[in-house]
Amino acid sequence: MRHGDYQSDSQSKISWKVFSIIWPYLLEYKVRVAIAIGCLVLSKAASVSGPFLLKHIVDGLSQEPTLALLIVPAGLIATYGFARFSMIILGEVRDTVFGRVTERAMRRIGLQVFEHVHSLDLDFHLNRRTGGLGRDIERGTNGISFLMRFFVFNIAPTLIEIGLVIGLLLYNYGIAFAAITLTSVILYISFSTVTTDWRTKFVREANSADNEASTRAIDSLLNYETVKYFTNEGFEANRYDESLQKWELARRKNRLSLLSLNGGQALIITLAMTAMMWLAAHRVTEQAMTIGDFVLINAFMVQLFMPLNFLGFVYREIKGSMANIENMFALMDLRSKVPQNLDAPSLQVSRGQVRFEDVSFQYQPDRPILKSLNFSIEPGQKVAIVGASGAGKSSLVKLLFRFYDPSNGKIMIDGQDIALVNQTSLRQDIGIVPQDTVLFNDSIIENIRYGNPHASDADVGKALKLAHLKSFVDELPEGVETKVGERGLKLSGGEKQRVAIARTILKRPPILVFDEATSSLDSKSERSILSAIQEISKGHTSMVIAHRLSTIVDADKILVLDHGSIVEQGTHRELLNLGGRYAELWSSQLRQRE
C-alpha cells in the first residue's frame, strides 16, 4: 500500500523547482494573467482605501452638523460602499479570468501524465495499484491548481498588503503603530509555520487512517461474493471498525492540535489589536489623533489579520501541493523498461514470418521462464504450442507483443527485429485473443468495436456472427447494447472470449495469436469457435496455444513446451509416431474423453 506517502506534508521543504514546472503554463495565457494581476492590484487598492474613507466619514460625523458637512460624509459613504463593492467584484473577476489558466494547466498536465503512464511497461502496471496511481495524478493536478491560485492570489498579495499597511501606518502615525504591526505579523507567521509543522504528523496520521479504512471497505466490497461464501461479514465489519477506530483517535489528536494553533493565533492577534487600540485611544485623549484615526487603525487591523488567519492552512496546503506535484512528476521521470525509439521504422509485414532466435526470458533474475527457444512460423502457417500450465506459453506471447524484452536472443518478423521497430506498428500487425479477456464496463457492441473504432455497423455485425456471438446476443433483452459490467464480469468466460475473438476479427491483423482461446468453452461451442478461428486465420500466420490437443491436430507444426524449453516439435502424426511427451498427453486426453 502506498497511501499515506503523499499526504500534504510539511516534511518536504518548500520547493522552488515546482515553480519552474508551473511557469510555462502561466505564460500560455499572458493576457489573462495580466488582467488577473490588474484586478488583484485594483482590488487591493480598493481594500486599503476603505479604512481611510471610514476615518473621514467618522471625523465628518463627529463635527457640528452643517449642510456642507452632511453632504461630504454622504459622498464619502457612497465612495466607501463603492470601494467595498469593487474590492469584492474585482476579486471575483480575477478568479474567473484566472480559472481558465489553471484549468488549462490541469488539463495539459493531466493528459501528459496519462499518456506517459500508458507508455510505461506492463511490469510497472502489474506492480502498481491502479487506484493509487489515479490518486497520484489527481492529487498532482489539484496541487497545481491550488498552488497557482493560492501562491499568486493569496500569499503574495497578503505580503504586499502587509507591507503597504505598515508603510501607511509609519507615514501617517509614526513608528509605534508600524512596529507593533510588524512584530505581531512576524510573531504570527513564525508561530503558525512552526505549529503547523508540528501538527503535520497528526494530520498525516488521520489521513492515512482514513485511507486505510476506505481501502478496507472497498477491498471488502469488491470481494462481496467471497465474503458471502465464507459468511465472514462479522469479521469484515470488525476489521473495518478497527480502522475506523484508529481514524477516530487520530482525528482527536488532530483536533486538539488545531485548537492550540487557532488559540495561539487568536492570542497574538488580540494582543496586537489591544495594544494598537490602547495606544490609539491614548493619542485620541491627548488630541493627537481623531476618532476617525482610531477607527482607521482598528479597520486596518481587522483587514490585515483576516487573510493571515488562512495562512496556517494555506502554508500546509502549499507544502502538500508541492509534495504532490513532485510525486506526480517523479512518475514522469520513470522510463519504460521496454524502450521505444520514436524514430524507429515501422514494421513491414509482407509475408508474416515469425522467428524466435535463441530467446531466453525471465521475470525475476533467478527464475528463468523461457530457455533458448528456437523456432519459426512460416508465412500462413498455423503453429500450435502445447504444454502444462506454467510452462511459459503466455509469456512467449507477451514477448512477441513486446510487453517485455527477452533477456537474450531476438524475435524477428519478416526479417526485422521487433525490438528495433516502432511499437505501435508492431502491435497493429498482431492480433491477440488473450487467455483472460478483460472488458471495458460498456456495452457488448462498444467492446467489440474497440478492435477498430472506425468499423461500420455492418462489419461489427459480421464479426459478431463469425465469433458465434449472434445467438447469445439475440437472447439478451437489450441485445448488443447490454452492459457487460465491471471488467466484463457479467459475461461468462466463454462469452468474454468470443467478444475478444470478434474484436480481433475487426482488427484484421496479418498475424494472429490465440492464447487458450477455447479453454473456457464446452465442446460444442468450442467446435463452432474453432471453425471460426480456422476461417479467419486462413492465409494468416497464426500461433495457437491450446490445452485440448484435439483442437490443434491440423496445425502445420506443434511445439511441446516444458519448463521453458521446446522438448518436441513436429506435426501431430510425427509426434504421435515419436511416442514421447506429446503422444503421452494425447492418449491421456483421449482416455478422459471416453
Q: Under the rule (CB under 5 A), what is the footprint of Mg ion? A: 393-394, 435
Q: Which is nearer to ligand ADP, 165 or 391 (CB)?
A: 391
Given the complex with Mg ion, which of 283 and 398 has the nearer CB atom? 398
The correct pick among 224, 230, 235, 363 for binding ligand ADP (CB under 6 A) is 363
Comparison of 166 and 391: residue with beta carbon closer to ligand ADP: 391
CB of 325 to Mg ion, least distance (A): 41
Cβ–Cβ under 8 Å, residues 514 and 385: no
Residue 14, H or E segment: none
Q: Which does 200 bind (CB under 5 to 8 A by kind): ligand ADP, Mg ion, none?
A: none
Q: Which is nearer to ligand ADP, 512 or 561 (CB)?
A: 561
Task: Return d(Cα 193, Cα 185) in angstroms, integer.
Answer: 12
To ligand ADP, the closest distance from the beta carbon of 559 in angstroms equals 12
Q: Reduced to 3 DSSP states, what percent helix, strand and coil does the chain have, rounded to the nearest 5?
A: 65, 10, 25
391 lies in the site for ligand ADP, by CB under 6 A? yes
Find the shortest distance in angstroms from Cβ 372 to ligand ADP: 16
Amino acid 1 reads M
By three-state DSSP, how is residue 570 classified? Answer: strand
Q: Which is nearer to ligand ADP, 163 or 390 (CB)?
A: 390
In the complex with Mg ion, the residue whose CB is nearer, 18 or 397, is 397
Helix (H, G, I), strand (E, B) or coil at 482: coil
Pick between residue 392 and residue 431 the one whose CB is nearest to ligand ADP.
392
Give the dihedral of Cα atoms 564, 566, 568, 571; nearest 10 deg.
110
DSSP element (H, E) containing 384: strand 382-386
Spatial separation of the C-alpha atoms in residues 185 and 165, rounded to whole Å? 12
342 contact, one of Mg ion, ligand ADP, none, CB 5-8 Å limit per kind: none
Partner touching 207 among ligand ADP, Mg ion, none, CB below 5 to 8 Å by kind: none
CB neighbour class for 70 (10 Å; exposed up to 12, middle 13-18, buried from 19): exposed
Backbone φ and ψ of 560, nearest 5°? -100, 115
Q: In whole angstroms, give the CA distance from residue 494 to residue 502.
A: 12
3-state SS class at 168: helix
Choose the one of ligand ADP, Mg ion, none that binds residue 268, judging by a C-beta under 5 to 8 angstroms depending on kind.
none
Q: How far, in Å, CA of 137 to CA of 327, rounded? A: 9
CA-based end-to-end distance of the chain = 50
How far is Cα 164 from Cα 44, in angstroms, rounded to an integer?
10
> Does 369 contact ligand ADP by CB under 6 A?
yes
Considering CB distances under 5 to 8 angstroms, the limit depending on partner class, which of Mg ion, ligand ADP, none binds residue 406?
none
Q: How far is the CB of 417 from ligand ADP (least distance, A)?
A: 22
From ligand ADP, Mg ion, none, interface partner of 126 (C-beta below 5 to 8 A by class): ligand ADP
Chosen from ligand ADP, Mg ion, none, partner binding at 283 (C-beta under 5 to 8 Å by type): none
- Which residues, 394 to 423, sit near ligand ADP by CB under 6 A? 394-395
Q: How many residues bind ligand ADP (CB under 6 A)?
A: 11
b/e sequence 26-37, b meaning 16+ C-beta within 10 Å: beebeebbebbb
Q: Which stretch binds ligand ADP (CB under 6 A): 71-79, 158-166, 168-176, 386-394?
A: 386-394
The residue range among 140-148, 227-235, 384-392, 489-497 that interacts with ligand ADP, by the rule CB under 6 A, is: 384-392
Lookup: cell for 292? 476617525
392 near ligand ADP, judged by CB under 6 A: yes
Question: Can you tell me which of 67, 68, 126, 342 binds ligand ADP, judged by CB under 6 A?
Answer: 126
Binding site for ligand ADP (CB under 6 A): 126, 363, 369, 387, 389-395
